[in-house]
Structure 1
Amino acid sequence: MTAARGRPSLTERRRQETRLEIAETAAALFAHRGYEATTVEDIATAAGISLRTFYRYCAAKEDALTPVVTSGVGVLVRELATRPAEEPLTRAVRAAFDASVSARRLADPEQVRRLVRIMGTVPALRMRWLAAGRDMQDQLVPVLAARKGVPEDSMEVRLLACALLDAFGVALEHWAGQDEPGDLAELTLRAVRYLHLDAL
């Protein structure tokens, strides 16, 4: 049976689910033990998979987290694409962000904060985070271009996608670095409002 247009096949959905399970397992171990103290064998054992299966999905230990980094943005992009075209962009982003937050599966705030700090300080993970950010921009550009009625290859829409994702990243890192971090959603929306998206 073929997948409906725009919808991943059952096989691909299972692959995505396995990637996310590996990523969540790695995230929990990195947050609890630290990156250096966690081995690929530890991740595979905790995830209930073989080393061969791990390497089928991840080329190296530092690649394991990518689905955790990108999954929230994937939800945000899909939600933003469904918002009414006439809705102000700031309001549309807020609604899409709320939906992406509710869909996230790493529920322990302290674990998430530790993980973000690790990702910001381990060079190999930082590089993967930056690379994932470029891929996420590529997902976001078509949606923003359609809302703005401009070509996808315009400099302005790429700048807008970059600014929006950077706002998310800065808010996340700020939240993770605070002794009393407050509410991540409110911090992120404050960062988005600072961009004055509706004036762009």
Structure 2
Amino acid sequence: MTAPRGRPSLTERRRQETRLEIAETAATLFSEQGYDATTVEDIASAAGISLRTFYRYCAAKEDALTPLLTAGLGRLVDTLSTWPADEPLTGAVQAAFDAPASPPHLADTERARRLVRVMGGVPAIRMRWLAAGRDLQDRLLPLLAARTGAPPDSLEVRLLTTTLLDAIHIALEHWAQQDEPEGIAELTRRALDYLRIDELE
């Protein structure tokens, strides 16, 4: 029996759940005991899987966090896909960050901040974080093109997409480094206001 069009099959949903479980386990260990002190064996044991299963889903330790790296931006893309075209772009970004954290692991503010510090401080993970953001450009381009009326491959839409992603990235890193940070939604709004992102549409 095939899955309805547009919906992942049961097998694929189970794979996604396993990937997310590995990612959340790795995130907990990285944030609690540090990236360098955490081994692949630690992650596999804590997730209740074999090393063979781990490597079936992750080529290396630094790949384990990929589902978490894309979670927040993926929620932004989903929000934008239903956001009225005549409403400011900053409103969609604010709504995406104000929504309940998904995965729930990121609802714990201090753990989330430690995780972002690991993501920004470990070169191998930082590279994958940046790559994950770039991969989402393909999903963002048509959404922003529809709002601007310009072709998805136009200079203007590509610049708008890159500016939006970089602003969110920098706001997250700033949030994670502060002793008493503002809310991430407010910091992101400030970043977008500073860049006058709504005026670029």
TM-score when normalising by structure 1: 0.92
Q: Separation in 1 of the partners of 2:149 and 2:6?
A: 22
What is the RMSD of the two structures over their aligned residues, measured on CA atoms?
Answer: 1.6
- Pairing 1:118-137 to 2, within 5 Å after superposition: 118-137=118-137
Aligned partner letter, 2:92: A
Change (3 A) 1:23 1:96: same
What TM-score do you get using the length of structure 2 for normalisation? 0.91
Q: Is there any run of 5+ residues in structure 2 with no aligned partner, and where?
A: none
Q: Unaligned 5+ residue runs, structure 1?
A: none
Is 1:11–2:11 an aligned residue pair? yes
Output the CA distance in 2 between the equivalents of 1:120 and 1:79.
Answer: 25
Partner of 2:94, secondary structure, is helix
| Residue 109 of structure 1 pairs with residue 109 of structure 2 | yes
In 2: Cα distance, 1:20 partner to 1:171 partner: 24
Q: Please list the CA deviations of residues 95-147 of structure 1 after superposition, one character each: whole Å capped at 9, or x if unmatched.
A: 23323x54342222111112211222211111111211211222211211122
Task: Give the 5 Å matches for 1:182-193.
Answer: 182-193=182-193
Equivalent residue letter for 2:8: P
Structure 2 contact 167–188 (Cα < 8 Å) conserved = yes
> Matches of residues 62-141 of structure 1 in structure 2 within 5 Å?
62-99=62-99, 101-105=100-104, 106-141=106-141
> How far apart, CA to CA, are the structure 2 residues paired with 1:196 and 1:5?
39
Listed one character per residue, the Cα deviations across residues 146-198 of structure 1 (whole Å, up to 9, x for unaligned) are 22222111121111111111111111111111111121221112112222222
Relative to 1, partners in 2 of residues 1:178 and 1:134: Cα closer, same or farther, differing over 3 Å?
same
The structural deviation recorded for 1:91 is: 2.0
Provide the identity percentage: 73
